[in-house]
Structure 1
């Protein structure tokens, strides 16, 4: 059995999949069309191959000089997300899945097919366009000779951030799958009701290639949001009291009550705030500020498409302070080590992080499914 397995990293961003996979996996090809993200990848992965900073549509098998045991593709989610435009896999961004997939099929026609493929996206991919997008993905995998199974993995089990994501793990039909890696039916921890609905909607010919992957459950996380907060962040400043009052004025009575309860506790309390558009009692759409003090951050999102940047609210007795979450705090919520170098510009760093992967989630998937699967098919026990 080899000491390490080789993999391709598509839509690589800042290389968080590579960090999560760890030293047991060697990256032999990287594709990331965004020059800014590619720059971060290069800075933080000194031993990685040269980043192919081109549209995946122009990549050819010749660019992938070495064969690989795994292909990782976190293709864009904008057209599949609940906040997206509904174009699904036909959209300009999420539709970049197809050039990637065509490249995988070209490799296969040359006898270089990748044994295991991981597709990562938002959980909305299970139900976008009334489930048709997932059905298309499933049929594409099945018709190309892959068995597949989706897992909904939430970063909240590893870091204090609510970040559910869909991971579709597909493997060639001739691969041996140990009994320990599969189940007879869904696991409520890794398979949501929408996962089961997606399965039920598939035609019988595609269902035969479905796998209910079996993963152990992680131990309860020990880190809380307050543990990740910087005392003196360099990338952000505390809001003026006028700005904090404006944020409080945007809150509903229920959210104001949360703030008052935090004041009465007498403890230093850290919460997160998101600005959202809600309907008032008259049906008018108004912007609201919503706070949570459960020591869990809301999902980090990119500023694109109208999503607001996450705000921290720090309550210390009667005093209330607010500020944007710092870039280092956001990186910690993704499980990135403090040694990971972030872009100097706030928006650039926040976009890189918000578009990325929670590193501990990738590690859990790799250690408990991808590595065992590769090992047993390459001479392992």
Structure 2
């Protein structure tokens, strides 16, 4: 999902990752707190004090967000659902579940524990703030604790909005799923609620921009678009999983494939395969054995002057479980692998022998055609 994210630390066995987009929101938070928030709540301090306080507040906010996501992950683990990564990015944080939940109860408890943990943190910072007031502690420390109380309340309340994929939307889906027994129908309603809420955010954000609240309104519009796209894609993925649950890779993979040999030059590969057949993903073989693949991204890294002398065998990407699956793999399992590894195309191989290639487009085309036939 976040192919540019890097590992930061590991907590309770969960890898904490940071997407480069996080640095943008972190910088914006520090800037906003330094220029506006703390000068208004804590006058007559130096600019350096405001800057240091803003860094502490930003770190505290993201640690709070990390605790929110860790709570999701720990409860998911009790339901035997592994969390591959927890990633911080421009719109907050996300715990990446290895597979979908299988019961309404699991959905409910995994979702609700996040807001509960944020309310607990808000209560903790509120209590610490009042203790420090009674001890006549420094004003900057008290204001920092007030801010962390406020930000945790915002995280908790916002996530409880019944709009998928927010925690509140997942809670709504679990309740509808429990009542009706219809997972797809429950997802549709929760996704629709997410889209309605996102449109509300976008419209009110646009109004804020036009009435002079530019930065806040713009941020609201961006969040609205993110929720809209996430809610739609989540429902589409559920439909895809349902349509493909009885199928295996062998049903949909492309068996007519064009391959490259390790001895081929890049120049020959481009002219004889890629341009001739209009493909951008080419399996690499040696005899009958699959070795890996080469694609346009690999070729782009090679200077065109060296195409005539560069061999496929020197630059191809080796076949691994991250890019190669067996023909017996179920399609829902394949979707999970593609999502986890950020792959759109996969090699299909049994016992080292190349059988075919399957792409995300193959599955989407099948689902689209199936839905059209069912509708008619």
Higher fraction of helix: 2
Higher relative contact order (CA 8 A, sep 6+): 1
TM score, norm. by length of structure 2: 0.28
* TM-score normalised over the length of structure 1: 0.28
